[in-house]
């Protein structure tokens, strides 16, 4: 019955405004305490994953260069064998 007496004493707009202020405070507190810490953890994980993807990309580039070199060397050997025959 406290809400009813507060409405009678202060009026509905004042009580509604105070209720909305509390709701805004609750949402703000939830965001700052729970969601920001979770986002910082997720950001750290994302940075780690990006680094791993970059390393894999560099490895793929190196392997492609080695493969191109091996194919070129094999092609040169095949040309030499054809010339010798």
Q: What is the pLDDT of residues 33-62, one digit of tens each?
A: 888 888 888 999 999 999 999 999 999 999
Which among 6, 42, 35 is positioned nearest to 22, based on CA atoms?
Answer: 6
**What is residue 70's predicted lDDT score, i.e. its pLDDT?**
93
Q: Are 15 and 3 in contact (CB under 8 A)?
A: yes
Please state the domain count of the chain. 1
Q: What is the pLDDT of residue 36?
A: 85
* Overall average pLDDT of the 52-73 stretch: 95
Answer with the residue of higher pLDDT: 25 or 32.
25
For residue 11, the 8-state DSSP code is -
**pLDDT score at 80:** 75
Domain encompassing residue 30:
2-84
- Tell me how far CA of residue 66 lies from CA of 27, 29, 73, 74, in angstroms: 56, 55, 10, 12
Pick the residue with more confidence: 29 or 83?
A: 29
């Amino acid at each position: 019955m406290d809400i009813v007496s507060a409405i009678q004493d202060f009026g509905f707009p004042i009580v509604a405004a105070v209720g909305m202020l509390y709701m805004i405070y609750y949402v703000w507190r939830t965001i700052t305490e729970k969601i920001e810490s979770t986002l910082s953890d997720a950001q750290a994980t994302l940075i780690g994953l990006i680094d791993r993807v970059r390393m894999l990309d560099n490895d793929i580039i190196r392997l492609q260069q080695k493969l191109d070199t091996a194919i070129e060397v094999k092609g040169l050997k095949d040309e030499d064998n054809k010339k010798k025959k």
